Amino acid sequence: MQKLARCLGALLAVLAAVLLAAPTAAAQGSGETIHGTLTYQDAPVAGVTITVSSADGDEIGTAQTAADGTWEVPVPGPGDYTVVLDAATLPSTAPGVARDTIETTVNPQQRKVVLFRVGAPEGGGDQPSPSATSPSEGGEEEGQAPGEGSAEAEAGEDITATAGNNQLLQLFVSGIRFGLILGLAGLGLSLVFGTTGLTNFAHGELIVFGAVAALLMNQAGVPILLAALLATLLSAVFGWGQDRGFWRPLRKKPTGLIALMIISIGVSLFLRYLTQFIIGGGRETYDQYTYQSPVSIGPLSITPRDLIIMGICVVLLAAVALALTRTRIGKATRAVADNPALAAASGINVDRVITVVWTVGTALAGLSGIFFGMIQGVDYLMGMRILLLVFAATVLGGLGTAWGAMVGALVVGVFIEVSAYVVPSELKTAGVLVVLILILLVRPQGILGRRERVG
């Protein structure tokens, strides 16, 4: 346990050092915000960039619409603001936006709602069709020199292709970011299943636990960086306490795996509605590192926060992989996952290994919840939405293996984001499940799982 504490302390020290080096975003004002929900044909539109500027033209903040189409930007106080939707970030399934710039006035303590109507581009039918810049059939358009129309058409096609490629690259990077955070969330679920056989339906609430713990400390005046560090430690303690005080006594009974799974569903419901009682039914945001202006890296636009989150995820995932292969506790964890009875017979303390897995897995899940909260905000249903994707990632990669959870999470994350380029946003999750079914038909054990002999 001392080695675990030193290892966890080192990882958290790296986390603190990297986060402290990050540029601080503008903090919220005295409660004034501008927010809304972006939909098309009653379906949410995700991944669209919306920027809020002051009346003087100074940029206040930028937000991306979440999976449910919601977005929110805190403003420094009452006043006049300009809200701009970046039409280039709309998915290919959305034909355009009726008006991409809206001017609004925010009153004291007001959460102002601004809604964009996704549909025909601004100007409606007065806008030229895609073929309007090309020559009409039988000759050139009136008022154009010979060949001028075709040149403009080729230029327009080049611009459209470039914009499409940039959007696809942007979605791919967003998918990598989402997959890395999902990998952190799924590690604990996969390792707990591998060492105990428990399918933990309360794992989504462990993700929310870290996000809510950081939120409550942040609202109490603790800087978000320190709150994130403390919330990760608190998540580790929560995971340790769960196993020592709850799951281990149930295993000793012994309680069957089906009964344990049903109990985990009850724990999930209890924690979910306890969270609703504590923070309410709305969506809350952190005071810092929630909204940042993106920086350009070539054709890519990304916020410093996202770069730092991706870097931390890579470091932590690599550290877990090395720990499983190089450290004594890691090798013991793999032995218990492979054959608990044989591991116990060889002198390995199985209960101690399982407690370590619960502790580290819950800490990583809590940290992933903090990252999700920075990007999407925090609400009591966040864990329920993420849990399906965590299950899909771990099953796809190979349930019970840490490497499978990492690989499966990247596949799921990239597929969800990139698929928005060609399919309606409401079908993204369904598309992941279709891919999951197709892969499991070929490899029932998952991408990195091992075959098991039956009979």
> What tens digit of pLDDT does each residue of 93-104 get?
777 887 889 988
Please write the tens of the pLDDT for every residue from 186-214.
988 988 988 888 889 999 999 999 999 99
**Separation between Cα atoms, residue 230 and residue 179, nearest integer Å:** 24
**442 vs 319, more confident:** 319
Q: With a cut of 50, say whether residue 147 has pLDDT above it.
A: no
Residues contacting 384, CB < 8 A, separation 6+: 204, 272
Which backbone phi and psi does 39 adopt, to 5 degrees?
Answer: -135, 160
Helix and strand numbers, DSSP H then E, in the chain: 13, 11
pLDDT in the model for residue 340: 85
> Which helix (DSSP H) or strand (DSSP E) does residue 349 occupy?
none
Please write the tens of the pLDDT for every residue from 399-413.
767 777 888 888 888
- Residue 254: asked if its preceding bond is cis (omega within 30°), the reply is yes
The tokens of 89 are what?
């970030």
Q: With a cut of 90, say whether residue 364 has pLDDT above it.
A: yes
Please write the tens of the pLDDT for every residue from 410-449.
888 888 888 777 776 666 677 777 777 877 787 777 776 6
**6 vs 370, more confident:** 370
* pLDDT above 70 as % of the chain: 78
Summary mean pLDDT of the chain: 78
Tell me the mean pLDDT in the region 349-360.
Answer: 93
pLDDT in the model for residue 31: 62
Give the domains, in start order, of the chain with CATH numbers: 32-119 (2.60.40.10), 168-442 (1.10.3470)
pLDDT in the model for residue 164: 53
Q: Which amino acid is at 148?
A: E
Exposed (0-12), middle (13-18) or buried (19+): which is 128, by Cβ within 10 Å? Answer: exposed
Q: With a cut of 90, say whether residue 226 has pLDDT above it.
A: yes
DSSP structural state of residue 360: H
Exposed (0-12), middle (13-18) or buried (19+): which is 304, by Cβ within 10 Å? Answer: middle
The tokens of 372 are what?
């999700």
pLDDT in the model for residue 238: 96
pLDDT in the model for residue 424: 67
pLDDT in the model for residue 118: 84
> Which helix (DSSP H) or strand (DSSP E) does residue 262 occupy?
helix 257-279
